[in-house]
Amino acid sequence: MKEQLLERFIRYAKIDTESDEKSQTTPSTTNQWDLLHLLKEELSTLGMEEITLDENGYLFATLPANTDKEIPVIGFLAHVDTSPDFTGKNVNPQRHDNYDGSDLVLNEDTTLSVSRFPELQNYIGQTLITTDGTTLLGADDKAGIAEIMTAMAYFQEHPEVKHGKLRVAFTPDEEIGRGPHKFDVDAFGVDFAYTMDGGPLGELQYESFNAAGARVTFKGTNVHPGTAKGKMINSILRAQEFQAAMPALEIPELTDGREGFIHLMDIQGSVEKTVLDYIIRDFDRDSYEARKKLFFDTVAQMRSDYGEEAVVLELEDQYFNMGEKIMPHMEIVDIISEAFSNLGITPIVEPIRGGTDGSQLSYMGIPTPNIFAGGENFHGRYEFVSAETMEKAAQVIIETVKLYESRA
């Protein structure tokens, strides 16, 4: 199974599928179609049925039940796009067999060092796949795709293993928050699902951030600085004033666990116009609403001070804590925990400091916890994944399906 997984993963990783938040199309980039079409062909070769790829890039397929037992229809999902945070073009995966615990030289300028990334010590003796130091790797979420495909191949190769109806979905644009926006819940037709989109071995997640995005635009007036007194309005300084009203210690680099944050992601500015782009994150709904209120209140105060046209706020919810929808169905989490135990995996049950497609799908009627896929250091040149962890993830899919059948 390990070599099958690696072959699939490396092949998928080499396909550029970077998404683009500035695009208005779905998928947001045409490159995502390259992997979707490849996967469609592979699903057909595996003997999957009811294979559909719609005009928005949502690929669904069915592994029919091979038992007469009444078993819930289970879905497994992964996303095809990679993050626009770092280039996914010309990915050149590097294989390191029997990793010995030392630093890994990715290229003459880039080293994946144990001192900076001590988690490497968890993988001694394993096969690691890294980048060549010039791109991201794409384990987020091509590891998940490879695991799902390998698990489906296992069931086809072992018809003696009984199972209910299984549905597979590969989706676009998860990395820019749009993964489920055009997802056809009725067409997918499952009782619940799991995303294979987590990190290290053992991650099991059924809570996520509540999330919003905000853009604050400040308008100014430019006049020659030599004659600017009483005339110039510097929008950059107005933007600084706004940022100064945000909680200085509640930022990503100073928070972890269940702590929320306000993250200033981008600044584009001149005297005439400055734009600040933020994301707002919190697990607690009341705290989340309080963070959004801070934006509205600060804008209201600045409009009172400088005029209604001085500042414009655009703020939208992106997704909500999926725990609110999953907790009433904790049996779907408990059975995964049992599958972990049967495979000798210690569950790491922590909230996702981010979101998955499951965050939105859970609110669309499909409770969808998240399972580890194996990657570390996502979205950058230091990303890597363990072949052994990917193998365990595929085994979790198989064991979970077996457990549902045995209990029916």
Active site includes 174? yes
The reply, when asked if residue 379 is annotated as ligand binding, is yes
For 363, phi then psi, to 5°, come to: -85, -10
End-to-end CA distance of the chain: 28
Active site includes 81? yes
CA atoms within 13 A on the CB side of 54: 14
The reply, when asked if residue 399 is annotated as ligand binding, is no
CA distance readout (Å), 306 to 218, 238, 310: 11, 9, 6
CA distance readout (Å), 115 to 58, 111, 120: 41, 11, 9
Active-site residue (options: 18, 42, 81, 147): 81
Of residues 336, 404, 401, 326, the one with CA closest to residue 365? 326
The reply, when asked if residue 181 is annotated as ligand binding, is no
The reply, when asked if residue 305 is annotated as ligand binding, is no
Active-site residue (options: 16, 18, 174, 282): 174
The reply, when asked if residue 197 is annotated as ligand binding, is yes
Q: Is 177 helix (H, G, I), strand (E, B) or coil?
A: coil
* Strand 74-79 relative to strand 192-198, pairing: parallel
Residues across the chain: 408
Alpha-carbon span 148 to 170, nearest angstrom? 10
Cβ-contact 49, 142 below 8 angstroms: no
C-alpha radius of gyration, the chain, whole number: 23
Residues 6+ apart with CB under 8 A from 36: 27, 53, 57, 59, 80, 170, 172
Catalytic positions, please?
Answer: 81, 174
Query: Residues forming the annotated binding site?
Result: 79, 140, 175, 197, 379
Query: Residues forming the annotated binding site for Zn(2+)?
Result: 79, 140, 175, 197, 379
